[in-house]
Amino acid sequence: MAIRDSRIPGFYNLPLASRRQELADRGPATLQELALFDAGGLDRATADRMVENAIGVYSLPLGMGLNFQVNGRDYAVPMAVEEPSVIAAASNAARMVRAGGGFHGEADEPVMTAQVELLDVPNVERAEARILAEKAAILDLANLIIPRMVERGGGAREIQVRVPSRDYGGEAGRVVVHVHIDCRDAMGANLLNTVAEGLANRLAQLSGGRAGLRILTNLSDRRLIRLRASVPAALLATETVTGPVAAEAIAGASRFADDDPYRAATHNKGIMNGVDAVVIATGNDWRGVEAGAHAFAATSGRYRPLSRWWVGSDGALKGELIMPMAVGTVGGTLGVHAGARLAQRMLGVEASSTLALVIGAVGMASNLAALRALATEGIQRGHMACHRRATSEIPVLPEPPETPSGTSSANRPPRTPPAGTPTSAEGLT
């Protein structure tokens, strides 16, 4: 059940118990359900089944991104992140976007790509022609391998043959077959790998070569999201900078990212601050999403920003974000991780495309917050205020027992960072 209203003024200042009560009152989950997060949403026995050599559960703080409105619907967004200021910054930027009508966007059909590498192909042009001539039969075979996905309306949609030596100057004799598969509400990794392995022998026969690697690609460029936002310039004002000046400065920072890959890397990192936090909270593969995002940013031949911002003819700040977003609302970790299931239910999404758009909106809000801070008061002011709050009351841990050599840790010299170690400012960058 989605939250009825994600605009909760003063939420930040409430004690934790009162925040939970606010959420319970607004519908996402009951107090009893929220208590699941007291232990991190995951028990030791389940952790032991999920990974090898388990020794415990490592928790991250879970907070709620507020004020989000995507395609006219409100969302309070679970975010799992260790860095101070990420959630506060995204929520504040979402409030600004909300005043301009909220985020609006579209998601591609959930099509992912399986790759089958063919090696030692004697004639790549003939292999390409033979494979494409058998396209219908290959697609039928792929769908026989995944009957349950076909029953749910998904399945293999297209075959593409790539010759790296011709297209990219790669190794001669290699042919790569892409099988594009509609995964519906699943992320699709296991599904795609199964198809790739099931088709490999037939494709090798058709090519006259031998099968090499058989696995999905995380460059899911057929599963893109496109989001737009508008912010009234007056809302961007700070104590020292007027709204119109701030809007122009943000647009200038966006142009800097487009001109310089070094800046674009940190620009995109700011997007991923928000994206990863939601991907982790909802039990999805943040490493795959990261890999796809950065690969997509470089497909033009030069690394570029995933979002851009400019000042519109009405004086408002305009923004857009385009990036791959391969996430699911069924399968994978969700089958075993109770905390991830609850987080998704609190978010109130069932379709993977809706989840993808909400995640993209959080990334876009994080990016806006970072650019506004950088272009006006500087990144450290807001971030370090949150950092000080987070670290001001850290409890002192008891001393560990004596080491086997009999030397107590109290007799060791204090550990200090090397000279020149930078202060962290990742939360808003």
Residues known to be catalytic = 83, 269, 285, 383
From 362, 375, 217, 235, select the one nearest 299 (Cα to Cα): 217
CA dihedral 133, 136, 141, 145 (to 10 degrees): 130
| Residues in CB range of 340: below 8 A, 6 or more apart | 41, 281, 282, 283, 333, 334
Burial per residue of 41-62, b for 16 or more beta-carbon CB atoms within 10 angstroms, e otherwise: bbeeeebeeeeeeeeeeeeebb
Q: Which H helix or E strand runs over 258?
A: helix 243-259
From 220, 230, 246, 224, select the one nearest 320 (Cα to Cα): 230
From 265, 269, 270, 325, select the one nearest 292 (Cα to Cα): 325
Q: Which H helix or E strand runs over 359?
A: helix 352-375
Residue 388 sits at the vertex; the CA angle it makes with 383 and 391, to the nearest 5 degrees, is 125
Helices 86-99 and 379-391 pack at an angle, to 10 degrees, of: 130
Written as one string, the DSSP assignment of 302-330 is S---SEEEEE-TTS-EEEEEEEE----SB
> CA-to-CA distance for 193 and 153, rounded, in angstroms?
19
The whole-angstrom distance between residue 240's C-alpha and the CA centroid of its chain comes to 34
